């Protein structure tokens, strides 16, 4: 796996959750939640530069059937707009159930849904990013084993 920080973005109608990885690509942590409907794209572009990210992963909210709805189409357009403004790859990753997983994790930590609404967005981005980091790590392990 390539060395460098990766960012993940979970697009919501109220907030945009952002997470980042460590440089080794092993661990995802919440970064911030940005209010949607304004300059959120500018803020994400700034974060890409600030963290010297090597890629941005945007959650693609597919229906459970795998079909795309309006939210997925919106995320696709948002990712395209971001890709036009940054010099790193922007990839879409299936984010089905990431918000549910984030809510459950926060509840397990003793937070109510009402008290954790602002945290859910960045926690959801963590779930998307950690899932992708783990997938890439498994793929790398498989590649290394094939050369033996």
Q: Indicate which CATH number applies to the domain containing 112.
A: 3.30.420.140
The residue behind tokens 């600030």 is 50
pTM: 0.79
> Quick check: 147 pLDDT over 50?
no
Tell whether 117 is covered by a domain.
yes
Region 65-81: what's the mean pLDDT?
88
- CA dist 135 and 131 (Å) reads 6
Print the domain residue range for 30: 6-146
- CA dist 32 and 34 (Å) reads 6
Q: pLDDT band for position 5 (50/70/90)?
A: very high
- CA dist 120 and 36 (Å) reads 14
How many distinct structural domains can be found in the chain? 1
Q: pLDDT band for position 139 (50/70/90)?
A: confident
Tell whether 95 is covered by a domain.
yes
pLDDT digits (tens, 9 = 90+) for 15-66: 899 999 999 999 999 999 999 888 899 999 999 999 999 999 999 987 777 7
Q: pLDDT band for position 148 (50/70/90)?
A: very low
Region 66-74: what's the mean pLDDT?
84
> Quick check: 12 pLDDT over 80?
yes
* Count of other CB atoms within 10 angstroms of residue 15: 22
Tell whether 1 is covered by a domain.
no
pLDDT digits (tens, 9 = 90+) for 76-118: 999 999 999 999 999 999 876 555 455 555 556 565 555 555 6
Tell whether 39 is covered by a domain.
yes
Tell whether 131 is covered by a domain.
yes
């Amino acid at each position: 796996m390539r060395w460098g920080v990766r960012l993940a973005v979970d697009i919501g109608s109220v907030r945009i959750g952002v997470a980042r990885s460590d440089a080794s690509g092993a661990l995802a942590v919440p970064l911030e939640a940005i209010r949607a409907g304004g300059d959120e794209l500018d803020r994400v572009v700034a974060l890409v530069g600030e963290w010297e990210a090597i890629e941005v992963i945007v959650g693609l909210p597919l229906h459970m059937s795998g079909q795309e709805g309006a939210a997925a189409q919106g995320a696709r357009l948002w990712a395209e707009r971001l890709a036009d403004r940054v010099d790193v790859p922007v990839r879409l990753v299936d984010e089905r159930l990431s918000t549910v997983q984030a809510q459950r994790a926060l509840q397990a930590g003793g937070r109510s849904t009402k008290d954790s609404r602002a945290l859910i967005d960045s926690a959801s981005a963590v779930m998307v990013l950690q899932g992708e980091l783990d997938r890439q790590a498994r793929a790398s392990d498989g590649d290394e084993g094939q050369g033996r």
